[in-house]
């Protein structure tokens, strides 16, 4: 496992950068070593759960980091219920992706259909396949913002787990970070994210547990779809997300430290 230097009391050596009190799944996407031995820049791209419970200390921390752009993957309904977030001085870009799985499970539950962990896992895998098939336009726009150097930038959804997790996987993959490290970064949610008890619904416990976790099978379903339906990662990045060779080279140039590590 590659580890990264951090000056925080992070619970895991891969959880880089400052920690926030009101956004437990906030972390730097930088610090990972790419396949050519260079390191992804720190302090440029951050990922998080929703930003509606930030403390004054958190806001001061983000100001010190210079974060001035926010990409919000939450649905319009989620934003209406939880608010746009407390980072009011930043330029906010909304790229709404409706997770839909909660509605599907509740509909089945209320309709008397059995729901359990297996059903939930299958629906979660379908959700990730949908990220690949149905929301390439949102992730293309996300990369356009990164290429425009709208950074330091933080991107998030509600938990910082699924939509954010897939977006982070795309970023790190485009920068040449190994698949193993991409998955390790994805799975850090299970160590970092503190679930709000008030957000837990009345669905069966095993269903709620599955919904509240990052699972390798979910992200694997996305990558398998990229491979089997879109000709592989490089083809998907180029033809679906607009990262053709010049754009990808420019993205790497601004996102990876020049000197070899």
pLDDT of the chain along its 261 residues, tens only? Answer: 333 333 344 445 666 678 999 999 999 999 999 988 999 999 999 999 999 999 999 999 999 999 999 999 999 999 999 999 999 989 999 999 998 787 788 888 788 888 899 999 999 999 999 999 999 999 999 999 999 977 899 999 999 999 999 999 999 999 999 999 999 999 999 999 997 654 556 788 899 899 999 999 999 999 999 999 999 999 999 999 999 999 999 999 989 885 444
pTM: predicted TM-score of the whole model, two decimal places: 0.91
Q: Which domain holds residue 94?
A: 27-255
Domain-located, residue 193: yes
Domain-located, residue 5: no
Backbone angles phi, psi at 66, to 5 degrees: 80, 20
Domain-located, residue 21: no
What CATH code is carried by the domain that includes residue 124?
3.90.190.10
Domain-located, residue 31: yes
Domain count, the chain: 1
Domain-located, residue 14: no
Domain-located, residue 16: no
Q: What is the set of active-site residues?
A: 157
């Amino acid at each position: 496992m590659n580890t990264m230097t951090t000056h925080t009391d992070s619970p895991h050596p891969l959880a880089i950068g400052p920690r926030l009190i009101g956004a437990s799944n906030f972390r730097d996407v930088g610090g990972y070593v790419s396949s050519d031995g260079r390191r992804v820049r720190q302090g440029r791209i951050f990922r998080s759960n929703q930003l509606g419970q930030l403390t004054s200390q958190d806001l001061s921390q983000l100001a010190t980091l210079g974060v001035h752009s926010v990409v919000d993957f939450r649905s319009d309904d989620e934003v209406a219920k939880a608010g746009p977030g407390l980072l009011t001085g930043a330029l906010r870009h909304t790229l709404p992706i409706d997770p839909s799985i909660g509605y599907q499970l509740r509909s089945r539950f209320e309709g008397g259909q059995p729901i359990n962990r297996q059903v939930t896992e299958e629906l979660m895998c379908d959700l990730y396949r949908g990220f690949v098939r149905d929301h390439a336009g949102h992730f293309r726009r996300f990369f356009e913002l990164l290429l425009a150097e709208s950074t330091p930038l933080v991107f998030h959804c509600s938990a910082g787990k699924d939509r954010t997790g897939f977006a982070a996987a795309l970023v790190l993959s485009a920068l040449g970070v190994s698949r193993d490290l991409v998955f390790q970064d994805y799975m850090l949610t299970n160590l970092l994210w503190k679930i709000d008890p008030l957000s837990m619904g009345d669905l069966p416990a095993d269903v709620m547990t599955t919904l509240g976790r990052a699972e390798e099978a979910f992200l694997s379903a996305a990558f398998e779809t990229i491979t089997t339906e879109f000709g592989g990662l490089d083809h998907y990045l180029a033809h679906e997300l607009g990262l053709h060779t010049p754009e990808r080279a420019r993205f790497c140039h601004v996102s990876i430290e020049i000197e070899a590590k």
